[in-house]
Amino acid sequence: MRPTALVTGRVQRDRGAFARELAAAGTDLVLVARHADRLEAVRAELTGRCGVAAEVLAADLLDPAGRAAVEARLADPARPVDVLVNGAGLLGAVGALALQGADDEEVKVALNVTAVVRLTNAVLPGMVRRGRGRVVNIASMAAFMPSPGGATYSASKAFVTCFSRAVHEEVGPLGVHVTVVCPGATRTAGRAASGSHRSRMGPLLEPDEVARRALAAVGAGRPVCVPGGAYRVRAAIARHCPGGVYRRLFQRGWRERTARSLTAALTVEADG
């Protein structure tokens, strides 16, 4: 009997790399995202190419009913899920917190934090009872660096990182491994069209390589995966460098730009 993996996120974009890698390894799939037509296209591609079975579960993880449907599928003892990839996430608008809408920031927390906690919680009891299972939670390099202009996003990814490491310690001795993946800038269709090989954060990572490294890490029982040598160095610096030195090295430009934009916006608002 083939193992089954449930993958959340936009399967036609970088999260699709996880579905492709799992299918190529002979893993059946449950594909979760909002748009059923896009899921069906990916399902047809992967079943035709790899010969695996694939379910489509169209659900919005921001909607309690949609999220409950995914939780029920993860907890179904008759159809066990062996691998969960929590790939759905939201960056949203970038800018100073004082210029963002509170409801928009709450949406980031709901998808980046609440959904990850609830889906992980739904799948773990069955994995523990079976004595095996893998959970991959997608965070970001932003987890290691409080980001001016992206305060809620970086804080949410720091939560996912801390949460995943703690849960890994809880269930690792029982044969279940949880790995948090903290990629840097990853190549997207837009970046590929531009011909760029770098971002402000560093060199662009290929989605397939991120997926391969992430799945290898969770298979080996490693709690944290930072793909790419340049990003591993930067993560190490962020973890161990004094905060003041780190800010001067990496964040000075972002801090100044964010402060200027905030001052300008609030000044215009006051004048108006």
Q: Which residues are catalytic?
A: 153
Contact 11, 35 (CB under 8 A): no
Contact, 168 vs 178, CB < 8 A? Answer: yes
In this structure, are residues 135 and 177 in contact, taking their beta carbons and an 8 Å threshold? Answer: yes
Q: How far apart are CA 173 and CA 176, in angstroms?
A: 7
Sheet holding 28-33, edge to edge: 54-58, 28-33, 4-8, 83-86, 133-138, 176-181, 224-225
Contact, 135 vs 128, CB < 8 A? no
CB atoms within 10 A of CB 71: 18
